[in-house]
Amino acid sequence: MTRRLIVLAILIALLVGAAIAELALGAVKVPPGEVLDILFGNGKAGPNHQIVESLRLPRTVEALVVGAALGVAGAILQGALANPLASPDVIGVTGGAGFGAILIIVLFPEKIALLPIGALFFGLLAAAMVFLFAWTGRNRGSIAKVVLAGIAMLSLFTAGTTGLLAAFPEKAPSAIFFLAGGLTSSGWESLDTTWPYFLAGAILVLFLIRPLDRLALGDDVAASLGSRPQLIRLGAAVAAALLAAASAAIAGLLAFLGLVVPHVVRMAGRTSSQTFVVPASALGGAALLAAGDTLARTVRAPIELPVGPFMVILGVPVFLWLLRRAL
């Protein structure tokens, strides 16, 4: 118990540090005191005020929300499918969201504002198709069926994305940023569109934490305790689809985060209990994405780079270190 509390405390400290760095650093130097003044409503009007309030603050909130959502999506999918390789990729969301975004970039570049909606729609559509195939017919809701349907859907939409990029290669530079995963300074607009999906996903997750712990004992034991394994799995997949599709709409494809963060917190906390793994994954995901985004914005400032590779650079060493100790 003490170990878990220590891990949670470290994750909270990392998250606070990453959020402060995200707010304080950028292409334009704003003194830390002025950043604080602006955040507490005492700042002077001017460009720095606009930079902190309209650009960095929404972006920091986006990084925290998306990071937390992806961490949680990965955690509940790995728990529900009893598969350490499960991530939002496995239920087709990432492939669908990528296809939806590239479709807008390639065919409707003048309607770029529709990009988050395209990503969200196709992300959820892909997940819905996975649910349809996995929860109908024989062995409905079995782990193998969910995973295989997800891989098929991921392949289908990835092929669509590749086909679009091959047909319109001149659009590739615009698409790369989304495919590599990256936040953009677009104010509160993206969150305005996606917050209901985050909220719905988060509420669903709250109801799934204990059932997922029972599911970890095995389908038969869970059933004997009054749980319905297939329903729990479906609920987890729907929650993960909502969280991951909304995340992809804001930050592109960041599959690594959902895959690795739950493992890191499980190994660090030495427990697979969802009561610990879910909140810890939320904190860890949020901290990792905020830290990665700060690097992506500042390493070659004023040019902004996709955040995906930076998260890998930050996350892989920690993951490998823990893996070496755990196995």
Q: Which one of the spans 74-82, 185-193, 201-209, 230-238 is the region binding another protein (CB under 8 A)?
A: 185-193
Report 188-217 residues binding another protein (CB under 8 A): 189
Least distance to another protein, CB of residue 162, Å: 14
Q: State which of residues 9, 27, 82, 225 lies at the interface with another protein (CB under 8 A).
A: 27
Distance CA 56, CA 12 (A): 20
Q: State which of residues 83, 142, 158, 185 lies at the interface with another protein (CB under 8 A).
A: 185
Q: What is the dihedral of CA 135, 82, 287, 305, to 10 degrees?
A: -60
Look at residues 136, 143, 133, 128 and name the one whose alpha carbon lies nearest to residue 93: 128
User: What phi and psi values does residue 205 have, to the nearest 5 degrees?
Assistant: -60, -40
Any idea how long the chain is? 327
Report 299-318 residues binding another protein (CB under 8 A): 301-304
Q: Does 234 bind another protein (CB under 8 A)?
A: no
Measured from the CB atom, the residue of 59 and 145 that comes closer to another protein is 59
Distance CA 142, CA 157 (A): 23
> Helix, strand, coil proportions of the chain in percent (round to 5)?
80, 0, 20
Measured from the CB atom, the residue of 14 and 61 that comes closer to another protein is 61
Distance CA 14, CA 10 (A): 6
Q: Which one of the spans 118-126, 184-192, 256-264, 272-280 is the region binding another protein (CB under 8 A)?
A: 184-192
Report 54-93 residues binding another protein (CB under 8 A): 54-56
Look at residues 18, 43, 15, 41 and name the one whose alpha carbon lies nearest to residue 30: 43
Per CB under 8 A, residues contacting another protein are 26-28, 47-48, 50-51, 54-56, 109-110, 112-113, 115, 168-171, 173-174, 176-178, 182, 184-187, 189, 301-304
